[in-house]
Amino acid sequence: MRNFSALLRKKPFAIPSSGVPLPPGILVDEEISPVYDSKNFYPAKPGEVLADRYQTMVKVGWGVSSTVWLARDLQGHIEEPESIVALKIANNNTSSAGHEREVEEHISTADPSHRGRSLIRTLLDYFEVKGPEGSHSCLVYMPMREPLSMYQRRFDDSKMPLPLIKTYIRALLTGLDYLHKECRTVHTDLKLENIMVSFEDPAVLADFMENQLENPMPFKIDSVGRPVYQSRNDFGPLKSLRSIPQLVDFGLATRLEEDDDWGVWPIQPDHYRAPEVILGNGWQMHADIWNLGVLLWDMIEGKELFRHIHDQEGRYDAKLHLAEMIALLGLPPPEIMQRYQYMREYSWPEPVRREDGRICETAEEYFCGPFFDAKGITELHISNESFSDSHTILGRFLYEDLIPNRKLDDTISFLEGDEKEAFLDLAKGMLVWHPNFRKPAAELAAHPFLQPKQKSA
Ligand SMILES: Nc1ncnc2c1ncn2[C@@H]1O[C@H](COP(=O)(O)OP(=O)(O)OP(=O)(O)O)[C@@H](O)[C@H]1O
């Protein structure tokens, strides 16, 4: 029997394969990465049909081990409106796409009725494509407008309006509530680039795609003959503020099924790293709450909270980071110190390689500890100007001279009065040394600071 719906399927159309050639000497997109190896990337070109279904049109992003393309979905009736998807085409040598797929499939099915699920990017489809040097996993997603880092820059002074920021924070917390409670998954890599914003109006995407046909991407051919296209991801000015944020990139996410499952290896971008990760105390979902707590400054102030975490050569320095945490939050409580001393000797199940190539077996080696005095119980009363109360702790911080004179309350310039107080109250529920005393995502989402203001009659 003939399959009539297949006959009426959308057809690939001619797509100009490239625009202006770029000089071979300049590095384009993924080529910038120090670990770039051309043969690992799929040589995607505009106009090709992958998996007999997706016609690639324009490259919109790249990472160290993937490129991201917008593509027409040819499935569906010829008269149905065009459907555009985003394809993340992974390198042939990476297992992270398989892991990402597994986690995202779990997230899609854990509880489809939860409000937070729609605030997390999930997979639409998955397939493999053969390249000249092996097989590449392709993850298919809804197309999104841009990462939050780019969206922010569309506003004066890169500051989104406060009511909008509040809505976004509430949405991200609702997403995290789903991820933590229902999916028992830790994202581990929350940053503005991993929060993507949806299209506020379908016309934005339609106009962009139209424009690509008239004005194709510049490209170059690299030294081994692979075409490298220069990605385009500027979808132009906002038509409205009707976008919603989604948490993306689950390549490093970790599932912790049981209450006593712990992650021990290093996670999180340097600025957003939770203290339990640096101290080697083991981490769970609460590490994401710290991470988002730090990210609030990027969203509200347009600046990072931690300012003194790099040494003079610009390398991340964990002792500086802990010193700044102490300045902003006071000293860690005794339970954290006890656990730190107890875990210091703990070797990871597998060694971890640092960026500088050193192989490390413990958190202390990795982050260049020790950080606190191990000599029994030491009573230390801090009474310098930067601390209002005195604390009693186990073990002295070994780098007291590095503690900067900063207070959390002074880090906020964008808010005043009651708004500032309410914001700090929210943040102080997230930036807590003891992970168990950080508030869970659902409780934080209901915080008064995040609730829309009632309009007076
Ligand atoms: N659904 C999407 N719609 C539009 N653009 C996207 C989408 N997903 C990703 N991108 C673009 O591609 C870029 C890279 O995507 P993503 O963050 O998923 O990869 P990555 O994790 O950085 O890659 P890698 O794992 O290879 O390092 C994003 O910063 C964004 O610009």
Nearest CA to ligand 1 atom 22: 63
Output the pLDDT for position 388.
43
Q: Both tokens of residue 433?
A: 């040394």
Nearest CA to ligand 1 atom 20: 63
CA 248 to ligand 1 centroid distance, Å: 8
CA 231 to ligand 1 centroid distance, Å: 11
Nearest CA to ligand 1 atom 16: 249
**In ligand 1, which atom is closest to the CA atom of 96?**
25
CA 347 to ligand 1 centroid distance, Å: 34
Q: Encode the chain in three state secondary structure.
A: CCCHHHHCECCCCCCCCCCCECCCCCCCHHHHCCCCCHHHCCCCCCCCEECCCEEEEEEEEEECCEEEEEEEECCCECCCCCCEEEEEEECCCCCHHHHHHHHHHHHHHHCCCCHHHHHECCCCEEEEEEECCEEEEEEEECCCCEEHHHHHCCCHHHCCCHHHHHHHHHHHHHHHHHHHHHCCEECCCCCHHHEEECCCCHHHHHHHHHHHHHCCCCEEECCCCCEEECCCCCCCCCCCCCCCEEECCCCCCEECCCCCCCECCCCCCHHHCCHHHHHCCCECCHHHHHHHHHHHHHHHCCCCCCCCCECCCCCECHHHHHHHHHHHHCCCCHHHHHHHHHHCCCCCCCCEECCCCCEECCHHHHHCCCCECCCCCCCCCCCCCCCCCCCCCCCCECCHHHCCCCCHHHHCCCCCHHHHHHHHHHHHCCCCCCHHHCCCHHHHHCCHHHCCCCCCC
Output the pLDDT for position 15.
78
Output the pLDDT for position 382.
45
Residue 280 amino acid letter: G
**In ligand 1, which atom is closest to the CA atom of 121?**
1
CA 210 to ligand 1 centroid distance, Å: 22
Question: pLDDT tens digit string along 104-154?
Answer: 999 999 998 999 999 999 899 999 999 999 999 999 999 999 999 999 999
Point out the residues of the chain with pLDDT beneath 50: 1-2, 4-5, 377-393
Nearest CA to ligand 1 atom 11: 61
pTM, to two decimals = 0.91
Nearest CA to ligand 1 atom 24: 63
Output the pLDDT for position 7.
56
Any known ligand binding at 439?
Answer: no
Residue tagged 């943040």 (tokens): 427
> Which residues' Cβ are closer than 6 Å to ligand 1?
60-61, 63-66, 68, 86, 88, 96, 141-144, 147, 193, 233, 248-249, 251
Output the pLDDT for position 11.
83
Output the pLDDT for position 6.
53
* Whether 321 contacts 306, CB under 8 Å: yes
CA 144 to ligand 1 centroid distance, Å: 10
